[in-house]
Amino acid sequence: MSSSHESLHDGFARFVHAAEELEASYASLRQRAASVDDELQATNAKLEQALAERDGMFAALPIGLVALRGDSGEAGASNVEADRLVAAAAAVGEDLLARPDGTVVFDRYVVRLRRVSLPSGQLLMLEDRSHVESLEREVRRLDRLAGLSELALGVAHEIKNPLNGVMGFAGLLERSDDGATMRRYASKIVEGVRAVDEIVKGLLGFARPDGQTARSRSRPSSSASLRPPRCRGPAGCCAAKWTRGSTPTRSAACSRT
């Protein structure tokens, strides 16, 4: 009986020892599991933060991004700009995701498409160039206006010279009683009008070229010959005085011939 009792007591002691070791191992495992859980939570938090930062950067990009999956081209993740452009195109019946690389014009949009290969598909980049195109059109319009301004200044200068001569001779013609002198003044006026007519014809030819450039057309004659001459009278020669915008006058000493 005593040996059986000792054997039972020894077995029970070994069982208690094993149970204590198992309990200690379980406690250590729980501690390790808690540590791994804390590390996993910290890693998940960092991953969520990184994803949020990535999404924020993608959303702030001025270029639309769409992930196209596999060979099917099914749309995956996309940013705000891509959603805006795709929705605007869909509103007018245009599918940007199915269009090849290049420039697509629809409604009031000008969108440039470009694809980049990814390990599991493609990345479609959508660049809205509507504002850039608008600015380029405005620059071209301003360039044309600047050219027209220079042309208008040149034409006004060329027309003003013969017109001044016409005005001067018209004033002298009004005050002359001599037929020969009047005919001479009239011929000068006609010459000035023809000079203006040649300038206008050259301008029309520049606007509507008919195979001959504006530069090849003959330039109007100089307006120097259209200056009013000196008048003669008993007191000798006296100059016909006139200024721009006023009627030419003669000195009282000049007699009418």
Angle of CA points 195, 196, 202, to nearest 5°: 90
Q: How far apart are CA 146 and CA 149, in angstroms?
A: 5
DSSP, res 95: -
Q: Residue 1: pLDDT band by 50, 70, 90 thresholds?
A: low
Whole-structure pTM value: 0.46
pLDDT of residue 119: 86
Q: How far apart are CA 192 and CA 167, in angstroms?
A: 9
150 pLDDT more than 60: yes
Instruction: Tell me the CA distances in angstroms from 200 to 54, 83, 224, 248, one per residue in order.
Output: 65, 56, 19, 26
- Largest separation between any pair of C-alpha atoms in the chain: 178
Q: Which domain holds residue 2?
A: 1-59
Please state the rounded mean pLDDT for residues 206-221.
49
Structural domain includes residue 108: yes
Domain identity same for 52 and 67: no
pLDDT of residue 227: 47
- Return the amino acid letter for 103: T
- Name 214's Cβ contacts closer than 8 Å, sequence gap at least 6: 202, 203, 205, 206
Q: Residue 82: pLDDT band by 50, 70, 90 thresholds?
A: very high
For the chain, the domain total comes to 3
pLDDT of residue 18: 86
Q: For residue range 32-68, what is the model confidence (pLDDT) as tens digits?
A: 898 899 999 999 999 988 888 877 877 778 899 999 9
Burial of 34 (0-12, 13-18, 19+ CB in 10 A): exposed
Structural domain includes residue 177: yes
- Name 95's Cβ contacts closer than 8 Å, sequence gap at least 6: 89
Q: For residue range 100-135, what is the model confidence (pLDDT) as tens digits?
A: 999 999 988 999 999 999 888 899 999 999 998 888
Q: Residue 89: pLDDT band by 50, 70, 90 thresholds?
A: very high
Q: How far apart are CA 109 and CA 81, in angstroms?
A: 13
Instruction: Tell me the CA distances in angstroms from 250 to 94, 136, 170, 189, 253, one per residue in order.
Output: 78, 58, 13, 18, 8
Q: Residue 222: pLDDT band by 50, 70, 90 thresholds?
A: very low
Domain identity same for 181 and 222: yes
Domain identity same for 106 and 193: no
Q: What CATH number has the domain bearing residue 151?
A: 1.10.287.130
Structural domain includes residue 48: yes
Domain identity same for 153 and 228: yes
